[in-house]
Amino acid sequence: MGVAALMVSGVTLVAPALLPSGPAGVASAQPAECADVQVVFARGTGEPAGIGRVGDAFVDALRPLVPGQSVDVYAVNYPASYDFLRAADGANDASAFVQNTVATCPDTRIVLGGFSQGAAVIDALAIANQPTLGFTNLLPPAAADHVAAVAVFGNPSIRLLGGPLTSLSPQYGYKTIDLCNGADPVCSGGDDRPAHSLYVQAGLTTQAAQFVASRLTSEAPITTLAGQTHG
């Protein structure tokens, strides 16, 4: 299936050395330690543990756009290596974290994000409807109610699946911004390999933060029945 292609192919066109580091349902109350916003971000190939340079810039741009709201960040735990099948580890880890957040902090608005191979991790969460290539911990449909926005950068789905996540996922597409930097070959038919390392410089992390903030400020906390979509 298409998600399998994403997990196998990952980001084979661009060397990561270009990138410097840097139970679902309704609950009666929100625990005091729950954040207003929970960002879950998967870094790109070859980046050190954390959310990577693109993730850092995205979160730094987002925080001042949602004043008065607490923002926590979770770095998806996966190798982000050339063994692209291990992207399934990231999808399983991110899914487990999201499901735990939904269960323990039902009014927290979740933001999913990823760069390059990390974007493929997020694609798996949003697109897969059956286990594939080691991704077994699929998100239940009701989890989509708790995800306020999705931001992906340099997403291989555009090249491998023929379209951005906005058109590939009925549940998540309308709340997604899927950004490709010019002729970045990972996410387009172009051949501008350096473009893959310039998402921060091109202002795309700021653009994504503005999109996500607009969704966070226009949506109320989740208090409705599981399975109901929020527009």
Strand ranges across the sheet with 176-179: 71-75, 37-42, 109-115, 147-153, 176-179
Rounded distance between C-alpha atoms, residue 1 and residue 15, angstroms: 26
Q: pLDDT tens across 171-202, in order? A: 999 999 999 999 999 999 999 999 999 999 99
pTM of the model: 0.86
CA 51 to chain centre: 11
Q: Just give the CATH number of 53-218.
A: 3.40.50.1820
Catalytic residues: 116, 184, 196
All structural domains of the chain with their residue ranges: 53-218
pLDDT in tens, 76-97: 999 999 999 999 999 999 999 9
